[in-house]
Structure 1
C-alpha cells in the first residue's frame, strides 16, 4: 500500500497535548500502534538495513528517508514511502560488488568551505571507509550528491591481534571483514566540528573520526580516537562460536549506535552484550554497559541481538532511547527464543540513568495490508511534526517483509515501515509516552 491516503480514518482526531514541548503526556489520539506505510520490497543483493530521516529546511513535506540497502546501494524515499533516488553500487573487475553500505546517518549545517550544507554519511563495508553525500534540498529527483574525498582512506587498516587483542594490532586486509560497520554522527557545537563514530565488524572496537572539508568541495576524514571494549564479558568468551548451540554462539561486534546531540553521549550496542555509554565530550567510556542482554541477565528487556538505536527528543532533556531487541528466534534451527523480547523495541528514559520504561512491538496493519516488523536491523525516529505525522515519525527496517518463507532465515524480501510516533506514544504498554515537537535537529 504505497502512497495512498492512509491517514484518512487513521489519524482522525490525532490532536495531541504537549505538541509545543514540555512534560505533557499525549492524550488519547485514536492512532493505532501499527505501521501505516511501507517502502517497496528489496531482495537479492539489496537487503534493506539502516534508515535515517532528513528534515527539509523550509518545506517539511519534502523531507526524506535515506536507507542503506547493503550490496544494493542506497535508497531515498519521500514521506509517502515512494522511492525518490536510487544509488547503485560499483563492481570490481571480476564483476563482484565493490560496495556494501551498512549504516547511514544524517547531520545538518556542516561548514563546507564557508557554506552550510547537510550531509548523509554511510559506512562502506567492502571499501572499509565512509561515503559522503551532500543533500541538495532543491532537487526532487537526485537530492544526494556524492562529495567523498577520493583520498579519504580506510577506517580500519589494523585490527586487534587475535593472539593478544588487548595489547597488539595486526595489519587488516581489506576483504570485507573487520571493516567499517556501525555508524553514528555527532556535531560538537562547542567547536563546530562533525564526528563519525564507526564500529569495526567482528571486533569490539569503535573509532572516532573528524569529517574534514577539503579543497574543491569534498569531505574527508581524520582519525581521532579508538575505544576497545571487552572480548570476554562476565566470563563468557565473546569470540566463541557454535553451529549447534546458540547459547554458546557469540560475537564481540557493535552495530547499532546513536549519539545524543545535546549531551554528547554515544549509545553503542554490542550486539550480544548490551548497550554501552561513551561521553564524547570527555572521551571516556563507562566501565560496563548500562543494560545487558538476556544472555547475561534473563530478566533484561533486550535480547541479543540488540540492533538499531535511535533517540526521540523532548524538551528539558526528556525523551527516549529506543533499542531494537531483534532476538534470535528466527532462521534455521537451532534458534534462541527469548519470550516477550524478540521482535520488540525497548524504550529507555533519555535522562537519568536510562531507566527501562517498557517495550512494544509493531504488529501487522490488516486494514492496509501491511505486515508487522520482525528482526529489525535499524531504526530512526524524529520528533519533528511532518505532514501526516504530526507527532513525529518512527522508521523501522523489517527483516522479513510479508513474513515470506515462514521467517526461516531466508530473507526473501526486506523493506522499511513508517509508524506515527503518536501511535507508539498513545498505545505504549508501559504507559503513555510524550509527544513533543519542540526539538529542532538543526539547532539541538
Structure 2
C-alpha cells in the first residue's frame, strides 16, 4: 500500500470511528447474513516447510507504532512483523542429525508484566509439537531487529508425557511417545493479576485433553513450567465417536482435538474450541469446566453459526465488560472431493457477545481487496484482534491467517502459500449485519 492509499484509508477509518463509537449489535436480534470487508495489508508468503498459522499482537509500552505481530509458522519457525506487515525478525527451527525438523511451533500467545526475578518482562510463548513442550521468549523493546530473546529453561520438560489409554478413555493413561503426534498443540495464556501468576493452557494434539501449567521464573533468568491441572473432555458426543476416521465420507470423519483457545483476562474464562464439536468454557479461577459447549458445530446442530473445523478464537475487549468473542468457522469446503460444504458458514468468523451468555450476533467474512491486490481469507487457522488504536488502524486491528494465499492450486487442499491479513476493526464494526459493533479504544490489554 502506498502512503497516499494508507492516508486515504486512515481518514475513512477515523470517520467510521466517530460514527460508530457507540454502536451495538442492533435492536432486531442477531443476523445470520454474512457480510464482507477487506484487508488492507498482508505479510509475505510462507511456502515449503513454513506454514503460517497462529498470530498474536504485542503492544509496545510507550510507542504504539513499534508494536509487533508475532506468528507461528510451524516447521518454518516463528515470524515477527511490524504494523506495515514487514518482517523484522525470523526465529528459525533446529534440525536433527538426519536433517529432519526438530521443532514445529503450532500456536503462540503474548502476555505482559511477568515477574522475572524482580524485573517485569513481556513474554511470548509457543507450543512446540515436535519437542512436546513450550518455547518462551521475552520481548526486548530496545532491540529493533531481534526483539525476541529466548529464555526457555533448558530443563523445561514435556507437556504431555502421558495420554488417555486408547482402550479405555475414562481416566486411565499410558506413556506417550514423543513422536509429534499426541503432543503440545493449542495454546492460550492467562495473567492472574490477583495472584501475580502467569499460566499457559495447552491442548494435546489428537486428544480431548487440555492442561494448565504455571510459568515459573528460574534463578538463572530462564522460565520453566510446572503442571497445575488437566481437563479431559468427551471422546463421544451425542452418540458420535470422535475418534472415528473415514476418508470417503466426511460426515463420519472426526477428531477429538482442541486448538483455538483464548482467555478472557478480566474474567479468567477460557474459551476452548474442540474442532469438530464446538466451543467450551472453563473458569480458570475455579478450574470448573461447563458440562457442554456453549455453541456446537454444524456436525451436531445444522443451524449452528460455526462449521467444523472450529479454529482460531480471539477476544475484542471494550469497557465495562463489553466486547466480542470471534471464532473462525473454517469449514471443510476446500480440498479434494469429498468435501463437507456448509454454505454461508465456511471461511467466516462468527461473533458472540463477550458478556452474558455469549449470544451469537452474526458472522462476517474477509474477502479480497481487488484495488490493493490482496486475496480473500480462506480456512483461517488463527486470528488475533486488538481494540487499541494503532498507526494506520485507529479503531483497532484484526489479524487473520489465510490458509490459501492467492487462491493457488484452485483451493485443492495443497497449501502452496499461506500468510497473514491485516484488516481494520473499524471496517469490521461498520459492515457488520444487524448494525455496527463497538469500536472502543479505551481498554488497555497491558493493564486489564
TM-score bracket for the superposition, by shorter chain length? over 0.9
The CA RMSD measured in Å over matched residues stands at 1.6
SS in 2 for 1:160: strand
Q: Quote how far apart the aligned CAs of 1:86 are.
A: 0.3
Contact 2:24 2:435 in 1 (8 A): no
Contact 1:377 1:399 in 2 (8 A): yes
Q: Quote how far apart the aligned CAs of 1:74 are.
A: 0.1
Q: Partner of 2:390 in structure 1? A: 386
Q: Partner of 2:11 in structure 1? A: 12
Contact 1:133 1:146 in 2 (8 A): yes
Q: Partner of 2:377 in structure 1? A: 373
Return the match for 1:41 from 37, 40, 45. Answer: 45
Q: Quote how far apart the aligned CAs of 1:430 are.
A: 3.3
Q: Quote how far apart the aligned CAs of 1:167 are.
A: 2.1
Return the match for 1:113 from 113, 117, 122. Answer: 117
SS in 2 for 1:403: helix
Return the match for 1:125 from 108, 124, 129. Answer: 129
Residues 313-358 of structure 1 deviation map (CA, whole Å, 9 limit, x = unaligned): 0001100000000000001110000010000000000000000000
Contact 2:22 2:439 in 1 (8 A): no
Contact 2:250 2:340 in 1 (8 A): yes
Q: Quote how far apart the aligned CAs of 1:33 are.
A: 1.9
TM-score (norm 1): 0.96
Return the match for 1:66 from 53, 66, 70. Answer: 70
Q: Partner of 1:350 in structure 2? A: 354
Pair 1:433-2:437 in alignment: yes
Q: Quote how far apart the aligned CAs of 1:442 are.
A: 1.1
Return the match for 1:224 from 221, 228, 234. Answer: 228
Residues 375-405 of structure 1 deviation map (CA, whole Å, 9 limit, x = unaligned): 0000000000000000100000000000000
Q: Tell me, in whole angstroms, the C-alpha distance in 1 between the residues paired with 2:3 and 2:261.
A: 33
Contact 2:16 2:426 in 1 (8 A): no
SS in 2 for 1:166: strand
Gaps of 5+ in 1: 27-31
Shift of the 194–327 alpha-carbon distance from structure 1 to 2, 3 Å rule, reads: same
Q: Partner of 2:32 in structure 1? A: none
SS in 2 for 1:320: strand
Q: Partner of 1:205 in structure 2? A: 209
Q: Partner of 2:299 in structure 1? A: 295
Contact 1:22 1:315 in 2 (8 A): no
Contact 1:400 1:414 in 2 (8 A): yes
Return the match for 2:335 from 309, 331, 346. Answer: 331
Shift of the 401–5 alpha-carbon distance from structure 1 to 2, 3 Å rule, reads: farther
Return the match for 1:256 from 257, 260, 263. Answer: 260
Contact 1:6 1:36 in 2 (8 A): no
Return the match for 1:275 from 275, 279, 290. Answer: 279
Residues 103-144 of structure 1 deviation map (CA, whole Å, 9 limit, x = unaligned): 000000000010000000000000000000000001110000
Gaps of 5+ in 2: 26-35
Q: Tell me, in whole angstroms, the C-alpha distance in 2 between the residues paired with 1:437 and 1:43.
A: 35
Q: Quote how far apart the aligned CAs of 1:4 are.
A: 5.4
Pair 1:160-2:159 in alignment: no
Contact 1:238 1:251 in 2 (8 A): yes
Q: Partner of 1:401 in structure 2? A: 405
Q: Quote how far apart the aligned CAs of 1:227 are.
A: 0.2
TM-score (norm 2): 0.96
Q: Partner of 1:242 in structure 2? A: 246
Q: Quote how far apart the aligned CAs of 1:9 are.
A: 2.5
How does 1:55-94 map onto structure 2 within 5 Å? 55-94=59-98
Pair 1:182-2:186 in alignment: yes
Contact 1:397 1:414 in 2 (8 A): yes
Mean CA deviation greater in 300-309 or 7-16: 7-16
Q: Tell me, in whole angstroms, the C-alpha distance in 1 between the residues paired with 2:97 and 2:178.
A: 16
Q: Tell me, in whole angstroms, the C-alpha distance in 2 between the residues paired with 1:223 and 1:311.
A: 26
Q: Tell me, in whole angstroms, the C-alpha distance in 1 between the residues paired with 2:395 and 2:110.
A: 20
Q: Tell me, in whole angstroms, the C-alpha distance in 1 between the residues paired with 2:425 and 2:359.
A: 20
Residues 143-190 of structure 1 deviation map (CA, whole Å, 9 limit, x = unaligned): 000000000000000000000011200000000010000000000111
Contact 1:22 1:314 in 2 (8 A): no
Q: Tell me, in whole angstroms, the C-alpha distance in 1 between the residues paired with 2:437 and 2:393.
A: 16
Residues 275-312 of structure 1 deviation map (CA, whole Å, 9 limit, x = unaligned): 00000000000000000000000000000000000000
Q: Partner of 2:28 in structure 1? A: none
Q: Quote how far apart the aligned CAs of 1:10 are.
A: 2.3
Q: Partner of 1:29 in structure 2? A: none
Residues 246-300 of structure 1 deviation map (CA, whole Å, 9 limit, x = unaligned): 0000000000000000000000000000000000000000000000000000000
Pair 1:95-2:102 in alignment: no
Q: Partner of 1:286 in structure 2? A: 290
Q: Tell me, in whole angstroms, the C-alpha distance in 1 between the residues paired with 2:22 and 2:197.
A: 31
Contact 2:56 2:384 in 1 (8 A): yes
Pair 1:359-2:363 in alignment: yes
Q: Tell me, in whole angstroms, the C-alpha distance in 1 between the residues paired with 2:437 and 2:156.
A: 42
